[in-house]
Chains A and B, each alone.
Chain A
């Protein structure tokens, strides 16, 4: 393992610890927008960075079993859906054990498979995921933005609306970027989901 990879892993580990420590954890979880759009994505990013550094030593059996990245990306969908349930946002705040479960399961079951399985997904599969993910994010945002009642016991109605607005903005931005990437090749593909040639798939191996 080269020094850059080691540094990447150390940085991911340090960020993980920093996010868990009370000042930062309290700050991010105190606000619904920060909880959903900063803490959760950062936790996924930590798992992604760790797995990306260790990618070369991925066991052959896992490469075989994770056919086209389908099981891995399903795990991402389940893990992220679970922790986005309003009830689970509440429980993560109320019960430290639940928060710990979130801190372990999001990097492990969402970040790691995202780093490993996304590369295995063929372009059409990736397009399918983007095309599902972006409108869904926007729809959830719209729901939060317009809901007349609080969905989380630990967040105020105005925080919920702000989180909804932020989700809608994120979805719109992602949609615009994805559109540009898909039709104009801009911004450089690495920025949006990285779409390497996937030669193996095209050869039908």
Chain B
């Protein structure tokens, strides 16, 4: 063994393992989606003061939901795949919420990230398809570009073109707790029981 070997090896190991640990949040996640979930659960951040307009043309803000639990999904109304799964899931949650199954007041919000196509009429049609009635279930678009950007950024939603004129996006359902913080990410496929359990624990 030569001089300087041990220090150099030590530096490489320390820097290398350190970088990998940092990049994987302590060897817990390898995807951005995993990192986002972890971050939301461990450090719930306040939702932005974004302005939105719902299917009835009413303007509102995410901050208006203070004191209530809010479930948020991101959609675009022309979406042929994921949004219909998300829509069904939201419909089920809406039924449960109206029946008072969650023990606290839960509102729903479907946010479109496609303001170019999703005008008030498109939102209203989407709402009708799933039985969404404002204000308990709003289908809305951000009022301006800045609101859209800040919503996507703070919820960690990435939208990419699907190459056929539509979009690919993730199918997460986000839970905003009564103090206005983004506290949990739920899978679209989660069973109602699982969802109500998470709701009960996270809205406290």
Given that A71-B12, A156-B168 are known contacts, is A65 also in contact with B20, CB under 8 Å in the complex? no
Closest partner residue, chain B, to A157 (CB atom): B168
Stretch from B23-31, B65-73, B107-115 forming part of the interface with A:
B23-31
Contact across chains for B32 and A82 when beta carbons are under 8 A apart: no
Return chain B residues, CB-CB under 8 Å to A14.
none
Closest partner residue, chain B, to A78 (CB atom): B16
B145 sits at the interface (CB 8 A):
no
* Tally of chain A residues near chain B (CB < 8 A): 30
Contact across chains for A90 and B16 when beta carbons are under 8 A apart: no
Cβ < 8 Å to B, chain A residues 155-173: 155-157
Given that A74-B13, A85-B30, A153-B33 are known contacts, is A67 also in contact with B5, CB under 8 Å in the complex? yes
Contact across chains for B5 and A153 when beta carbons are under 8 A apart: no
CB-defined A-B contacts under 8 Å, sample of 8:
A61-B4, A64-B2, A70-B9, A85-B20, A87-B29, A90-B31, A90-B158, A150-B168
Q: Bound complex: CA of A152 vs CA of B168, how far in Å?
A: 12
Neighbour of A65 across the interface among B5, B32, B35, CB < 8 A: B5
B99 sits at the interface (CB 8 A):
no
Closest partner residue, chain B, to A86 (CB atom): B31
Contact across chains for A156 and B16 when beta carbons are under 8 A apart: no
Given that A66-B8, A78-B20 are known contacts, is A87 also in contact with B32, CB under 8 Å in the complex? yes
Contact across chains for B158 and A153 when beta carbons are under 8 A apart: yes
Contact across chains for B4 and A64 when beta carbons are under 8 A apart: yes
Additional A-B contact list (5), CB under 8 Å, known A150-B168, A153-B31: A61-B4, A71-B8, A87-B23, A153-B170, A157-B168
Chain B binding surface, main DSSP class = helix
Give a binary string over B9-46; 1 marks a CB under 8 Å from any A CB, 0 the rest. 10111011101100110000111111100000000000
Return chain A residues, CB-CB under 8 Å to B29.
87
Return chain A residues, CB-CB under 8 Å to B32.
86-87, 90-91, 152-153
Neighbour of A87 across the interface among B8, B11, B35, CB < 8 A: B35
Return chain A residues, CB-CB under 8 Å to B1.
67
Q: Bound complex: CA of A71 vs CA of B160, how far in Å?
A: 40
Return chain B residues, CB-CB under 8 Å to A72.
12
Nearest Cβ in chain A — how far from B8, in angstroms? 4
A154 sits at the interface (CB 8 A):
yes
Closest partner residue, chain A, to B163 (CB atom): A156
Cβ < 8 Å to B, chain A residues 37-95: 61, 64-67, 70-72, 74-75, 77-79, 81-82, 85-88, 90-91, 94
